[in-house]
Amino acid sequence: MNAPNLLKSLLVSLAGISLASGAPRPNIVFIVADDLGWMDTAVYGSKYYETPAIDALAQKGIRFTEAYSASPLCSPTRASLLTGQYPGRIRLTTPACHLPKVVLDPQVPKSAAPHQKAATPATRTRFPNDYLTYVEILRDQAGYATAFMGKWHLGHKPYLPEEQGFDLVVGGRHHPGPPPPGDSSRRGISTPFPRTPKEPLSPPPLPIAR
């Protein structure tokens, strides 16, 4: 069984077990933080940073104490988490998805630069939409409502989270960091959940202390 089919079978089976037992389907909240050290939260040993909200999530959820990221870089890690495949197999190995040039079939150069000992394969600059993601499986096979909020950095339109199974997208554009002031895509709100007029899409602004 290949990796996408294995991922699909695992997720659908877990959802089926939950429904068969009569238990409500668990909510799944997956937080990926750029440049977060492995001991930067209290639950993982920090004596300096106080992270009570994350600690509370950890107490109610599952902790992975012997797991490694697929890459030390943001975009390859995100693509790997979405698919269950290594960045090298996806051919997306550096965070270059904000660049204007579209590269979907990167090549290995015939020679290396004079200061390098080996040739470095080029990288995709977009995460192709034809990959099956766990989000699509949870939405289409298990009936979950899905949302993406924050940094995407896996490509310009049409390589956006809306095309990878997310119903609601807030942010989620090509930027390698926060979008610049005045950028028309900085909010990036699209395809909201069905809601009644009494349920605003975003919370009301906080009062300003005077």
Which tens digits make up the pLDDT trace of 56-88?
989 988 888 888 889 999 999 999 999 999 999
Give which of 5, 50, 58 is closest to 29, Cα–Cα. Answer: 58
Number of other CB atoms surrounding residue 140 within 10 Å = 14
Tell me the pLDDT of the chain averaged across its residues.
Answer: 81
Question: What integer pLDDT is reported at residue 90 of this predicted model?
Answer: 95
Does 153 qualify as catalytic in the annotation? yes
Catalytic residue among 74, 97, 174, 175: 74
The answer for residues whose C-beta is within 8 angstroms of residue 38's C-beta and 6 or more apart is 44
| 153 confidence band (pLDDT: 50, 70, 90) | very high
| 162 vs 157: CA distance, rounded Å | 10
Question: What integer pLDDT is reported at residue 199 of this predicted model?
Answer: 42
Does 74 qualify as catalytic in the annotation? yes
CB 122 within 8 A of CB 107: yes
Judged on CB neighbours under 10 Å (0-12, 13-18, 19+), 133 is buried
Give the mean pLDDT of 95-111.
94
Question: What integer pLDDT is reported at residue 200 of this predicted model?
Answer: 39
Give the mean pLDDT of 152-180.
90
CB 125 within 8 A of CB 174: no
**Which tokens belong to 29?**
């909240």
Can you give the pTM of this predicted structure?
Answer: 0.75
| 185 confidence band (pLDDT: 50, 70, 90) | low
Beta bridge partners of 149: 170
Catalytic residue among 97, 98, 115, 153: 153
Q: Does the pLDDT at position 7 exceed 60? A: no
Give which of 97, 28, 38, 108 is closest to 67, Cα–Cα. Answer: 38
